[in-house]
Amino acid sequence: MPELPEVETVTRLIRPGVEGRLIRGVKVHWERTIGGQSLAAFEEAVRGKRIARAWRRAKYVVLDLQARKRPAGQLLIHLRMTGRLHVVDSGEEIGPYERVRLLLEKGRALSFVDVRKFGRFVYLEDSEPTFSRLGPEPLGEEFTREWLGSSLRARRRALKPLLLDQSFLSGLGNIYVDEALFRARLHPLRHANKLKKDQSDRLHAEIRAVLGEAIEREGSSFDAFYRTPEGQPGSYQHQFQVYGRHGQACHACGATLKKITVGQRGTHVCLRCQRPPRGVPQLL
């Protein structure tokens, strides 16, 4: 499930193939992948423009578009659960799960493959309103220990749903939240405003560490399903301490890891390393 490290990796991979290229045409195989406007309006907005830059904000791949050398809107791509992007030859057949294809110059194309159809392409004249609703980048300058400490004190929510909330902090998803909370030795149901300073400092450090390490390893991928045709699997899944490891021994203390549900999300914890807050039965 693409989170910040996977989106960062994908962005880096496609960048050399798309930056500077003209979008000659658009093929949409699943119309609902296009969000916010009609298919016709989307095609009209995108065709004939040049991709000036490919970058990442939160879990969006952002393509800055130009027309006649001037900024001309942005294409935001969200991979959601199973979306993947690759640069391919324009004649290359990708199979039944390709949802969108941008035809580029020089016989190349940007192909969007998405089994579960949750991914979205949105063209925006101005992305500022969208991005201003997002919390800070966890690897950016704004995300300091002081910011996290004071922001947590202002919220009463449980840590996990708060960290998954993109308007609080952007880029984290289910996997890296579980990993960061484990590494910070904080139970997912701990209330944000109850953390002591050393705990919120630890959480800050571990969020950064886990994301940085995952980017170094080009993200996580589980099975062939999530890999790109170019064979870019990512290898961070081998570093998981808790995610998907329920029933196995905690690497830190040896206790059996558990899987619980927090906010309708599968949640992986070591109940010995991550002490539940008062009132939460230490069951299962």
Partner DNA sequence: AGCTACTCCTGGTAGC
Partner DNA sequence: TGCTACCAGGAGTAGC
Catalytic site residues? Answer: 2-3, 59, 265
User: Which amino acid type is present at position 45?
Assistant: A
In the list 49, 78, 202, 245, the residue contacting DNA (rule: CB under 7 A) is 78
**Which residues ranging from 43 to 72 are in contact with DNA (CB under 7 A)?**
58-59
Of 45, 53, 14, nearest in space to 124 by CA: 45
Residue 71 or 150 having the CB closest to DNA: 150
**Which residues ranging from 179 to 218 are in contact with DNA (CB under 7 A)?**
none
- The Cα–Cα gap between 278 and 281 comes to 8
Compute the residue count for the chain: 284
β-pairing, 120-124 vs 34-35, is parallel
Question: 111: which 2 tokens?
Answer: 């192909």
Is position 276 an interface residue for DNA (rule: CB under 7 A)? Answer: no
With tokens 């690497």, the residue in question is 251
Is position 225 an interface residue for DNA (rule: CB under 7 A)? Answer: yes
- Binding segment for DNA (CB under 7 A), chosen from 19-27, 77-85, 100-108, 232-240, is 77-85
In the list 38, 67, 116, 126, the residue contacting DNA (rule: CB under 7 A) is 116
* Rg of the chain over all Cα atoms, to the nearest angstrom: 20
**175 in Cβ contact with 141 (< 8 Å):** no
Is position 264 an interface residue for DNA (rule: CB under 7 A)? Answer: yes
- The Cα–Cα gap between 32 and 120 comes to 8
In the list 158, 203, 211, 215, the residue contacting DNA (rule: CB under 7 A) is 158
Positions that interact with DNA (CB under 7 A): 1, 3, 32, 58-59, 78, 80-82, 115-118, 155-158, 161-162, 164, 166, 173-175, 225, 259, 263-266
